[in-house]
Every structure is written in structure tokens, then in C-alpha cells.
Structure 1
Amino acid sequence: MQIRRKSFLALGGLAATTTLLAACGGSDSGASGSSDSGASDAGGDAGSGSRLVIWADEEKAPALEPSAKEWGEQNGVEVVVEVVPGDELQGNFVTANQAGNGPDVTMGAHDWIGNLVQNGAISPVQLPADVDSTIAPVGIEAVTYDGQTYGVPYAVETLALFANNDLTDVPEPASIEELVEAAKAGGAENILSLPIGESGDPYHMQPIYTSAGGYLFGKDAEGSLDPSDLGVGEEGSLAAADKIAELGEEGVLKTSITGDNSISLFAEGKSAYLISGPWALADVRDSDIDFTVSAIPGFEGMEPAAPFAGVNSFYVASNAKNAGFAQQFMTDVASSPEVARAMYEANPLPPVNLELREQIADEDEHVMIFAEAAEAADPMPAIPAMAAIWEPLGIAQANIVGGKDPHSTMEAAGEEIAAAIG
């Protein structure tokens, strides 16, 4: 496994085009069946009778299927878990749901919610009354949109700092400045492995951007994200641009480090530190290097680093054939750690179920560090305007690392984003 998390620029392009895709309607859903369901199961009879159809990507479907089928047996429901490629899942779901041949439930990232609500593709869900004591706050916050709950969260992903203990004497630096000095003292080939590439990577750059004062969107009086309050190009983002430029000049940030090689450079002992997510754990563990995982530090005297948190969730389709069973499934998943536990064992992502966290606390300290880091992270914006952010901001950050003027480059990105948002 090189890197599981695909480019977040692709998400922006998908969100921007899904509304147009939904208008097409009636196209083939693209779903491929699980071991006991063919692609035809995604057709017009999906969800008929006592049957619950769930769509999931190629990684989550195998993790979900056993526990979902067991739930179905206990409730007298045939549960069919169908595989849809992850980069096609959101768009195919919107199209199939509009055409009336989609699933009852789909799995997806929480930042899909704005686009799914805008397309009328999902229904609100009713979480149990005691949800505040069973699910971590970041999970509840992530699936709440315009005051309504639209999903049941089960796992969270965020970024943390990996340190190669053979290349640094400071495995948990208190600041980015301390990180840089410790890596230089250790003689590492690369100080920090953070994917940038020629197009940039705002997802991985977010901790640095926020620590220096940058923000993406402000909030209105109700606490909802306000697309009219764009932070890119404003004072905080210019301070962040200066810091990014300094790190580029020092060789701490490099456009030669990309999503294809960032984890391998660290696992091969060529970087003192790595900023990545729980998807990097397998490769780093397989490398047999002595490593530490901790929260990402901020700059000295500036704001704490706040990476994005991405919450994996279940959603009920607005045109679900078996909406009653779908809602029951959501309630049971939210109130019990059993499904989340089965999924964790097959695909170990940090859970949001608090009981499950207690169960695994002694089993996997690294996963728990990511779970704790997620509580200090910002849920990735779910508003449709976020689609306009990824590409311009990423390219601007990469250009600044490459030596372009930080202020004019960041201001130009802000103008482009504002024009796209309208």
C-alpha cells in the first residue's frame, strides 16, 4: 500500500460536477455486486421486499459485509452490500437515487453532505437520545448540516506527525521550529515528508496553513460556515503564505515530495518526520523503523495546528425502497459498537464510538493517537463552495514553496476562488 488517501483535488472536481451529473439520470449505476449479488442488484428492483441494499467502496465493503449481513439475519432482512469504486461512488449514488434505482444506504465521507443535500439525495436521520455519550463530538459535528443530522458516523481520519526515532532526538516536537532544528541535527536527507507536488495538496498543508493564521471560511451567527467570508487572500492566509515560503526556502517543504512518495520516503529512512494519516501506519510498521506518532505542532507563538478531520459515515437515500429498515439500521449502528468493531478489525480506522475506543485503547496506541488528534481537528467543510478551494489553493501553495511571491500568489488564488463561488 503506497497511499490510501487519494488526491483531495479530485474531490473538489467531483463535488463541482455532481449536480450536472444528477441531471442526466437513468444512467448505469456502475455498481459491482458482492459475492452473492451481481451488478443487476443495483437496478430498478434494488431494495425491493425485505431487502436492504448498501453501497460501499472497495475497501469498506468487505469490512462491512459480515456484520451487516448478521444484522440482517437478526432483523429478518436480506442485506446486500454492493461495491462501487470509491472515485465513482458519490456521483453514481446521486444519479442512481434520482433515477429511482439506487441503494437504501450508502457509505461516504462527511464532506459529501452539502452536495448530497443540495441534490436532494439523502434524508435526515434520527440519532439515539444518548448519542452524546456514545459518539465522539467530532463525529456528531461532522454529520450535522444546517442544523440537521444527515448521517451516522463510524470512523474518523485526520493527520498526525510520524517521527523516525533514529533520525531525530525529538520524537514529539513542541513547534515546527523545533522539528526543523531536530531534523537538521539528525542529518536526515529530508526534514519533513509532506506531499505537495506541482499541484499542491491543501489537505496535508492545512495544519501549517491554520497555525500561521489562515482559514478557509468564516462562520455566520448560527455557527454555520459562511461561503461569503472567504479567508484565502485575507490577512491570515498571507501570514501563512509567508511561513510556507520560509519553509520552502529552507528545503523543509519540497514539490518533489508527492502523494506517491511521501510515505515511502519516511518508511525507507529518508525523512526524519512525516505528516500523514492512519492509512500510513501499515507501511511504516512494515518498514520496522522505530517511530513515534504525535499531534502535529504549530509555529512558535502562533495558533495551534488544526488539520482536517474526515468522518466516514452512513447515509439513508432519499429514494430508499426500504427507508424503514434503513433508518433502523442507522439507529442500531449508532447505538452499538458491534458493527463498528467488525469494521475496525477489517480496516483499522480510528472509531468515533466511545465504547469501542475504550475496547481498543490497549490494542493499538497509534490508532488511539489519531482518534485523539481528530478531536482537535476541524471537520472538513461540507458546504458545496468547498469544491472551489482545492485546486487554486493547492497550486498557490505549491508555487509559493517553489519560490513565487507569497502575497500576490495567495491573493490571486483568493480572487479565483471568490469568482468560482460567485
Structure 2
Amino acid sequence: MFRYMFEQIVNRWVLISVMLLAACAPTTADESGGSILLWYSLESSDAAVIEILLDRFEETRPGVNVVGVQVDAEQLLTRYITAAQMGLGPDIFIGPSQWISELGAARLIRDISDLGPNVDVFFTAALENVRYEGGLYGLPLSLEPVALYYNTNMVTTPAATLDGLLADAADGRGVALNTDFDYAFWGVQALGGQIFDSEGRVLLNQGGVASWLNWLRSAQDAPGMFLSRDRETLVNLFTAERVAYYTGRPDDLRTLRTALGETAIAATTLPSGQGGTAGPLLFVNALMFNPASSNQQAQLALRLAQFLTNAEQSNTLLREVGFVPSNRRLRINARIYPVVSGFASQVRTSVPVPNTEAMALVLQEGETTFVSVLDGVADAVEAVELATERINTALNLEPVETIVSTCDLEGQLVVWHALSRADNEALESIAEAYQAECPNVSVRIVSWAGSPDLPQTFRTAVAADVGPDLLITSSDWTYDLASTGAVRLITGEVLQRHIPAALETLTYQGSVFALPLSFDLNALYYNSEMVSDPARTLDDLLTDAASGLTVLLPAGFEAAYWGIPAYGGQIFDGVYRVVADGTGGVAAWLAWLDAAQVLPGVQVSFDRQTLDAAFANGEAAYYVGPPSLIAEFERALGAEVVRVTTLPQGPVAAGASLVRTDAVFASAALDPQQADLALHFATFATRADSQRLLTEQTGRLSANVNVVVEDQSSAAGFRNQVSRSVALPRVPQVEALLANGDALYRRVLTGGVDPAVAVAQFAADVNASNGMAEVTAEVTAPPEVTAEVTPELTPEITPDVSAPAPE
């Protein structure tokens, strides 16, 4: 009874307050004067700045009286709705643009399009946030994108890429990353994803979202990475200087400055990824207008709004309050305002949040999907597919895949490859499926099996304006083909369907030149009859060996590269000169291998065939190898016995294998129409259904994000490993690196050379081959690695290679 009486008293007080405040605003105003009632919700010090601006406005317009009323943030929307429904309330108020859909649908805010506002000064993306059903329902006052805060006492040059962020975290400069959908969406664009296509269909299931979720899942286990939906916890990590980075919004600035001081805080744009720049969702604080005001009153309120958002007042709000201005004409001094400048730079790549049913569904389903995937309840691809289906069904929109399957193209295509007979049969099957979908297109698959120099033949044919439309070959040829202009670059939303690491192998000077057909790398096989819980670290691996299990480790630069990142090793410097391992990581890894090979239970060998046979015969518990061995091992041991997990963690970071792909390249000699046809087939061959067919017939691992793999399958282990992989740069210096790489490992493992000395010789040999000067660097000796381990712890079609005939 008491609670009911209390609520009645509060409700009557609110109503009386609303009526009294409304009485402050006269119903008319003329050109020379009048009164305006403004509601806002700000902290007291910020409210004082608003009052100063209101005084300035009154000074510029004698006879005008502006009454500013501070309203509690938790009550502002409710009180405004209550007042507006009675035809009362303020003429203008400040609130988040997310309110516009609700208030616009209820006709409780005014479309100001007819008042003729000047919108040229605002960022285009910001204006999208204040539109509703074709009308303009406010003006943007300040912007709220997510950006990357960093502690200047801990970071000199902030990470510019996702890889750089992980590297900094592993190096002791931790990262606090908010995983709420509206905070964490930024990585979707960085990996090539987007929300809508030009027709309004939702594209969440095209690969970018799943790739980003998989990146986040992997990052959860990475050293120095702290991922959480609890904003307060993340802020505390940053203010306690336990981390150097924090993904937050401008409204965090006051708290951060209070804890760390003004000079310790800066902000920069979020890290870019394979798909380009990061794109956080852009939220806006807007000035909205009451439809109960007369036209003259509304005009006066509009003049106030345009005054508050002009360059001069925006500069005051920037300087005194920390608002990120919506006025694009304001120039911000990055040296004086390092935080606001960082957020303002981020605005340019931000994604607007339109006031539509579709966007509301995306925000709702996106949050559900992020929670379920990052909590380990759902698979990324399946969860995103389900969310997209629910959204498009609710909007009565046809799914994207259904629409693109309609094909009215005509023409002929020739595809060259030098893959195996099984691969050729799978490609023939894909071509038949394509021709069934595009009956007016013929596709001829030409096998050059056993021709390792096919890319050179292709390049010669392209230069002569003859040859095939498409070439399927290894990403090892990306530099050679792209740098000579033999292949076309690939752009568009199709890229987001592919694993970022796979696309990286096909990137030259920032552009992608092929679509990945499959990927290849090393991971850790284990026999589940011998091992229940596979080794997670290098120490675990040695402990298992000491307990009687056998560990097989292939040697050689490519086979055993994975331990170099685990020890923090560095190969190239910024100009692709091999450095003499100033970090000591390469030498430390070689020292670990050298010590491990004399331990009971550990076999380190350059004879990969012998190691393959040993694992297939059930003689070993562990083996580091590629996916091409899955079928052989499963035939020998049984699919239920063979398991694959990620490579062991080292003292600095996770083990990271070299990754390469086989990919579809398009000839640069094609005219625009033929190029479109070639890309259409390449897209078809790499889309999910075609990739499933390829996997079924050949065992290849698909680089298409949308191909679902079973959690317990061997393929799942390799898919998890690809997020911890390294793509060698597409530069000419790599050829000499690979040519000398095995010799480095042999000097240490069979020649007895000191690892640090061997690394220095390796650097000298590679740099000499590349015509690059030697670097004088202090070589850090590798840490001592003890050998004592405590248990606790012939072609189907024969073309003329010399003179390819035009098709």
C-alpha cells in the first residue's frame, strides 16, 4: 500500500514539473525575440558550458531568452514523452539518436526538413543517424564512435593493424576489448564485412562477421588480451595500467583522465585488418525538436541548434567538454587534443546506425550472436547464418544466395591448373555445376599436372594476349604474377567470404589478386588413444615425451617455422632485409629444438616421410604436419583416433605456422566483359557449396569462412590454427630466404653450430643473395634450454608449353 501511494506521489510530481517547465515556453515567437526551452542531461561542469553557450546565443539575438533545464539522464526520455503527449515540454532537447525511431513513430518529434536547415556542415554518416522514414528529425550535436584509447606512458607508436595489436599484447602492452556487439562491430569492416547491400538485404552471413567472431575467439586465448562485455572491468584494467589499450567511446574520457592524468591518455583509430580500415558503429547525440512548438518557435529553436553546432561553439564543446564535433569543417589540433582528434579521425570510417526496423533487428540479433559465439555456445558461421535468416525473414527479404544464383551470362571460359587428378575431377564437377546454373557459359578445365612452371607459361601467354581466362596455382606465385601485371586485382564484397589469413597470402602492395580455393599449413596431430588432453605449451610437449609418449617434429625452415613466433623471433626488418635476430627469438627456438632432439621420446628429423609413416603406424602420440595427411592417417588409425589441435604455445606467443593457399587468378589480358565472366566463375568456385564439394572429393581445406566444419573433426583443428598463422610477405627477398632456410636448421641440428652463430650466417647469406647490406646488430644469445624435464610439469591434356595457342 505504501509503495502504491509513493508511486502516485512521484507521478503527480513529475506531471506538475512537466507542466511548470512547459509554461516557461510561450506558444509564439516573432523574428525579433521570443523564448526557447531546452532540456539536456549533462554533468554539472558540462552543463555550465552549455549555459555559457546559451548566453552567447542570447547576446547575438537581443530579445531572445533561452531557458536551459538540466534533467536526470534516467528520466529525460520518459519525462519528454509524458510532456509531449500533452502538447507540452521543451522546444528542443538533447538526446541519443537511438530515440528517434520510437519518438518519430509516435509523432513526438518534428521533421525539420521543411524548416530549411543547413546540413552541409555535418558528417554524412552523422546525418544518417538523425533521419527517419525520409525525414530529418534532428541535427547531430556530437559523435560517439568507438576508438582505441592508449596509455602514452606505455605505448609510443600505437598498433595500426590487428596483427600489431596482438603483438603488442604479447609483448606486455595488454589490450582491454569490449565485446558487446555495438562496441565490437568495428572488426567486421576490418575483415571485409558489411551490414547491408544496395537493396537493403542483410549481408551478415557473407563471411566478414564470422571471420571477426573467430578472430575474437582466438584473441580470448592470446597473451595480454582481455575481452569482456563488462565495461567497468575493462576501464579498471586500463586505469590500473594493467593494459595499455582500451576500446571505448568519448564518454569514457573523464573517468580515464581522472585516474591517469590528461597527458597519459590519447586515442587513435582502431586497427585495420585484411579487409581494410576498421568501421565502428557511429552513435550520435542529437538535438531534437518538439512538434507542439509553433513554426516560428521551431524556427527559433533551429537557429539555436545551428548555433550550437557551428564551428566556434563546437570548438568550445570540444575543448571544455570533450565532445567529438559533428561539424566536419572544424579542424582539430592532434597535438593539443590527442583524444578528440583520434575519435574524429575514426568518424570517417564509421558505420552509421540508421533508424530503421532492419537496423534494430541487426543490433538485437548481433548482440545475441556475439554472446552465444564468444561464450562458446554456438559456432560462428552457424550462428551468423541463423541470425541473418531471422532478420531477412522478419523483413520479408529474399536471401542473398538465392538471388545471385540466377545467371543469364554467356560466353566461354578456359581454366588452367597443375593440380592432382583428384583435384581435376573436383574442378570438373564444379564446372558442371556452374554450367547447370549458367547454361549459356561453357567452361573448359585444362590440366597441366606435373608442370611446376605453369605460372611462368601463363605469364608468357598473358603477355602475348593469349592463354586462359583463369589460372589456379599456389599463392607462392602472387608476387611474380601481380608485380608483372599478369593478373587482375580482386575487389568487392566477395572478399569477406574468405579467411583473412588466406587473403593475406594473395595480397600484393595492399591489393588482393586472387580468390583462395583452399589453404595449407601445419598443426599438431595427436593420437587420442594415447593422449586425452593434448599439450598446450612447449613445456607440456616435453613433459609428455618424458612420460613415455613419442613426439615427432619435422625439421626445416617451412616445416618448423612455427616455433619462431612462439619465441618472439623476427626475420625481416622494415625493408625486408634479414636481421641478425636482435630479439634472440630465432636462435632460442633453434636451441630448443637442438636440446629436445636428444631427449627420450622426441624425434626431430628432416626425413618427413619416415615421420609420416611412424605416426600412421601408431608409433607416436604427436606429429606436426599438414592437412594433406588427414585421409592417410584416418585410414590407418581410424577417424575417431586422429585429432588435430593448434601448435603449442611458446614463452612469448602461440606457435604460428606458415600458411599458403591455392587460388584462382584472373588474366590481366581479359576485356571487361570477359573479366566479369571469369570473376563470376571464380566466385562460384570458391563459394560455400562448391567448396564443400571440393572438400568431399579431395580433402582440401576450404578458405571460405561460411563452410562449417565439425567441432571434433581434424579439419576443425586446422581451421583453428589458421588464425595463428603467418603469411610470408609477397616480396622478391623471400626467394632467397626459402632457399637458405633449411641450411639454417641443418647447421644447428646436424652440424652442431651455435644457434646465434648460425642465425648470423643465415642473415648474411640471404642478404648477400638479395644484394642488401649487412646490418650490424647486437645478437642476443638464446636462453639456455635444459634437456632435463620433470614429469610434473603426365597431363590429361598436353598443351604446347613453349608456344601456348590462343583459345
TM-score range, shorter chain: 0.7 to 0.9
Q: Secondary structure of the residue that 2:167 maps to in structure 1? A: helix
- Which of 208, 218, 236 aligns to 2:187? It is 208
- Which of 67, 78, 87 aligns to 1:100? It is 87
Q: Does 1:123 align with 2:95?
A: no
Q: Does 1:324 align with 2:308?
A: no
The residue that corresponds to 1:347 in the other structure is 321
**How far is the alpha carbon of 1:251 from its aligned partner?**
5.9
Q: Does 1:400 align with 2:383?
A: no
The residue that corresponds to 1:372 in the other structure is 345
Q: Does structure 1 retain, via aligned residues, the 8 Å contact 2:266–2:338?
A: no
Q: Does 1:180 align with 2:166?
A: yes
| Matching residue's letter, 1:98 | Q
**For the residues of structure 2 that align with 1:217 and 1:30, how far apart are their CA atoms?**
42
**How far is the alpha carbon of 1:377 from its aligned partner?**
0.9
The residue that corresponds to 1:275 in the other structure is 247
Q: Does structure 2 retain, via aligned residues, the 8 Å contact 1:168–1:183?
A: no
Q: 5 Å matches for 1:228-377?
A: 229-250=201-222, 254=226, 256=228, 258-286=230-258, 287-288=260-261, 290-299=264-273, 301-320=274-293, 322-334=294-306, 336-354=310-328, 357-358=330-331, 363-377=336-350
**How far is the alpha carbon of 1:393 from its aligned partner?**
2.1
Distance verdict in 2 for CA 1:385–1:72, change over 3 Å: farther
**How far is the alpha carbon of 1:192 from its aligned partner?**
1.7
The residue that corresponds to 2:41 in the other structure is 57
| Matching residue's letter, 1:347 | V
Q: Does 1:67 align with 2:53?
A: yes
Q: Secondary structure of the residue that 2:354 maps to in structure 1? A: coil
Q: Does structure 2 retain, via aligned residues, the 8 Å contact 1:144–1:150?
A: yes
Distance verdict in 2 for CA 1:129–1:71, change over 3 Å: closer
**How far is the alpha carbon of 1:354 from its aligned partner?**
4.6
Structure 1 stretches lacking a partner, 5+ long: 1-26, 33-37, 221-225
The residue that corresponds to 2:150 in the other structure is 163
**For the residues of structure 1 that align with 2:289 and 2:360, how far apart are their CA atoms?**
23
Q: Does structure 1 retain, via aligned residues, the 8 Å contact 2:36–2:66?
A: yes
The residue that corresponds to 2:64 in the other structure is 77
**For the residues of structure 2 that align with 1:63 and 1:43, how far apart are their CA atoms?**
23
| Matching residue's letter, 2:254 | A
**How far is the alpha carbon of 1:409 from its aligned partner?**
2.8
Distance verdict in 2 for CA 1:167–1:401, change over 3 Å: farther
Q: Does structure 2 retain, via aligned residues, the 8 Å contact 1:388–1:421?
A: no
**How far is the alpha carbon of 1:296 from its aligned partner?**
0.5
| Matching residue's letter, 2:361 | A
Q: Does structure 2 retain, via aligned residues, the 8 Å contact 1:107–1:313?
A: yes
**How far is the alpha carbon of 1:207 from its aligned partner?**
0.8
Q: Does structure 2 retain, via aligned residues, the 8 Å contact 1:29–1:95?
A: no
Q: Does structure 1 retain, via aligned residues, the 8 Å contact 2:177–2:228?
A: no
| Matching residue's letter, 1:319 | A
Q: Does structure 1 retain, via aligned residues, the 8 Å contact 2:19–2:83?
A: no
| Matching residue's letter, 1:294 | T
Distance verdict in 2 for CA 1:217–1:92, change over 3 Å: farther
Q: 5 Å matches for 1:379-418?
A: 379-404=352-377, 405-415=379-389, 417=391
Q: Does structure 1 retain, via aligned residues, the 8 Å contact 2:22–2:90?
A: no
Q: Does 1:193 align with 2:166?
A: no
Q: Does structure 1 retain, via aligned residues, the 8 Å contact 2:18–2:88?
A: no
**For the residues of structure 2 that align with 1:364 and 1:179, how far apart are their CA atoms?**
23
Q: Secondary structure of the residue that 1:389 maps to in structure 2? A: helix
**For the residues of structure 2 that align with 1:384 and 1:58, how far apart are their CA atoms?**
29
| Matching residue's letter, 2:52 | P
Q: Secondary structure of the residue that 2:80 maps to in structure 1? A: helix
**For the residues of structure 2 that align with 1:271 and 1:309, how far apart are their CA atoms?**
25
Distance verdict in 2 for CA 1:360–1:329, change over 3 Å: farther
Q: Secondary structure of the residue that 1:269 maps to in structure 2? A: coil
**How far is the alpha carbon of 1:389 from its aligned partner?**
3.5
Distance verdict in 2 for CA 1:392–1:353, change over 3 Å: closer
Q: Does structure 2 retain, via aligned residues, the 8 Å contact 1:262–1:274?
A: yes
Aligned residues: 372
Q: Does structure 2 retain, via aligned residues, the 8 Å contact 1:202–1:393?
A: yes
Q: Secondary structure of the residue that 1:394 maps to in structure 2? A: helix
**For the residues of structure 2 that align with 1:64 and 1:386, how far apart are their CA atoms?**
32
**How far is the alpha carbon of 1:136 from its aligned partner?**
3.7
Q: Does structure 2 retain, via aligned residues, the 8 Å contact 1:210–1:306?
A: yes
**How far is the alpha carbon of 1:30 from its aligned partner?**
4.6
Q: Does structure 2 retain, via aligned residues, the 8 Å contact 1:31–1:82?
A: no
**For the residues of structure 1 that align with 2:50 and 2:357, how far apart are their CA atoms?**
28
| Matching residue's letter, 1:215 | Q
| Matching residue's letter, 2:175 | L
**How far is the alpha carbon of 1:181 from its aligned partner?**
1.0
Q: Secondary structure of the residue that 1:86 maps to in structure 2? A: coil
**For the residues of structure 2 that align with 1:345 and 1:39, how far apart are their CA atoms?**
33
Q: Secondary structure of the residue that 2:292 maps to in structure 1? A: coil
Structure 2 stretches lacking a partner, 5+ long: 1-10, 29-33, 397-807
State the identity %.
Answer: 22
Distance verdict in 2 for CA 1:47–1:248, change over 3 Å: farther
**How far is the alpha carbon of 1:44 from its aligned partner?**
6.4
Distance verdict in 2 for CA 1:28–1:121, change over 3 Å: farther
**For the residues of structure 1 that align with 2:313 and 2:14, how far apart are their CA atoms?**
26
Q: Does structure 2 retain, via aligned residues, the 8 Å contact 1:61–1:83?
A: yes
**How far is the alpha carbon of 1:291 from its aligned partner?**
4.7
Distance verdict in 2 for CA 1:137–1:75, change over 3 Å: farther
- Which of 143, 147, 155 aligns to 2:130? It is 143
Q: Does structure 2 retain, via aligned residues, the 8 Å contact 1:308–1:378?
A: yes
The residue that corresponds to 1:22 in the other structure is none
Distance verdict in 2 for CA 1:39–1:70, change over 3 Å: farther
Distance verdict in 2 for CA 1:135–1:362, change over 3 Å: farther
Q: Does structure 2 retain, via aligned residues, the 8 Å contact 1:152–1:315?
A: yes
**How far is the alpha carbon of 1:131 from its aligned partner?**
4.3
Range moving further from structure 2, 157-166 or 305-314? 157-166
